[in-house]
Homo-oligomer: A and B are copies of this chain.
């Protein structure tokens, strides 16, 4: 029913070898300006400040998610036969387009702007956008269906599971991709085997027991990537500095709105105005970074210092948070050195459990089907996962402040 391209389009990709596109609606979405914009949003936020090769974009990631979904619905016989053609196209599009709503530095930008990228994604899909037109032209109502998969309200739970379950195409791609582009090995697992051993049972995706070890490996990969990459203190510091910069911008703008004239696109952020789709479209990383660079010349010394630090990677040092006394000590040192602790003593907490079986929707869990065709939740079958969920979760609270007052040099070791 859906129109095909004249020839299969293939895009070389280091993770999947090639991304294969046969349907015209996919190809046209790829060429829509909202999707091309994802070339201008990095996948990993501030992590490229630690891993200097982690420059890969949401564009590449989105292609990867699409390709995994495509393999699921086309090459896995059990899934292919369980889905209608419309469902198959819907979920491939959902894989491709699920990240349209991201802003610069992804999650950091959500902290700064207060909006959720999922909502923005849905807005773009359903409104007056190029991708919307492309999908509606291919089949009226298609954009709505794709949005439902992303919102988690689609009637077919299998489609939702493929995009946002515990073992979805999104996570599978980003673990492999982030491992490749950081140069770490933690994120590697045998995706080929996982994809081969997925089956549809009782209206949901399950994994054959012969693929369980690969899934355990995936759970561990995820755990390691969180600590080694996503929660790396330098990446967190970079994001805290951006948050502090916008905090300062807001504080200054209250008494002196003209500060916003230096770079008008930041005005709505500083004034907590709701972002329009057009503003969101323009607010990519070149815009964001150019804006930050402009504030290096701001008259307010805190604003210009924070901008300078972000642009030139003069980040704060950090140490484990141990006690309130330690924090008070740092605060007094900062004050005596002339630093305003509101912007110069930052703190955050990272917390991670490798796999949480009871959290959230049961539909998103990982299930295993035994050779006897019994379907069980992963932690009931896997000794490894069972042990991990009984372990206590690890918290990591850190204090960040200018290195100049730091007693011990932070270790730059990726």
Q: Name A residues whose Cβ lies closer than 8 Å to a Cβ of B.
A: 6-7, 9-15, 17-18, 31, 33, 36, 39-40, 48, 51-53, 55-57, 59-60, 63, 180-186, 188-190, 192, 196, 210, 213, 216-217, 220, 223-224, 227-228, 282, 285-287, 289-290, 293, 312-313, 354, 371, 383-384, 386-388, 390-394, 409, 411-414
Residues in B whose Cβ lies below 8 Å from that of A391: 383-384, 386-387, 390
Kindly identify which residue among B17, B56, B220, B392 contacts A220, using a CB–CB cutoff of 8 Å: B220
Inter-chain contact B227/A14, CB cutoff 8 Å: no
What chain B residues lie within 8 Å of A17 (beta carbons)?
183, 192
Query: Please, which residue of chain B has its CB at the minimum distance from the CB of A371?
Result: B411
Given A383-B392, A394-B383, A414 contacting B286 (CB threshold 8 A): no
Contact between chains at A223 and B384 (CB < 8 Å): yes
17 additional contacts (CB under 8 A) given A17-B183, A36-B313: A7-B411, A9-B413, A12-B51, A12-B182, A13-B52, A14-B181, A186-B217, A210-B411, A213-B228, A216-B220, A217-B220, A220-B384, A285-B286, A286-B286, A286-B287, A371-B411, A390-B391
Residues of B within 8 A of A9 (CB): 412-413
Chain B proximity of A267: nearest CB distance (Å) = 16
Closest chain B residue to A59 by CB distance? B52
Question: Which interface residue of A14, A48, A51, A189 has the most chain B CB atoms within 10 A?
Answer: A14
A180, B14: Cβ atoms under 8 Å?
yes
Interface centre among A196, A217, A224 (most CB of B within 10 A): A217
CB of A216, distance to nearest CB on chain B (Å): 7
A15 to B180, CA, bound (A): 11
Q: Which residue of B lies closest to A408 (CB)?
A: B371
Chain B neighbourhood of A227, CB < 8 A: 213
Write the nearest CB–CB distance from A379 to chain B, whole angstroms. Answer: 11
Q: Could you name 5 residue pairs across A and B whose Cβ atoms are closer than 8 Å?
A: A14-B53, A14-B181, A36-B313, A185-B188, A371-B411
- Which of chain B's residues have a CB closer than 8 A to the CB of A287? 286, 290, 293
Say which residue of B56, B189, B285, B384 sits within 8 Å of A388 (CB atoms). B384
Question: Quick one: given A13-B53, A55-B57, A180-B14, are A282 and B286 in contact (CB under 8 Å)?
Answer: no
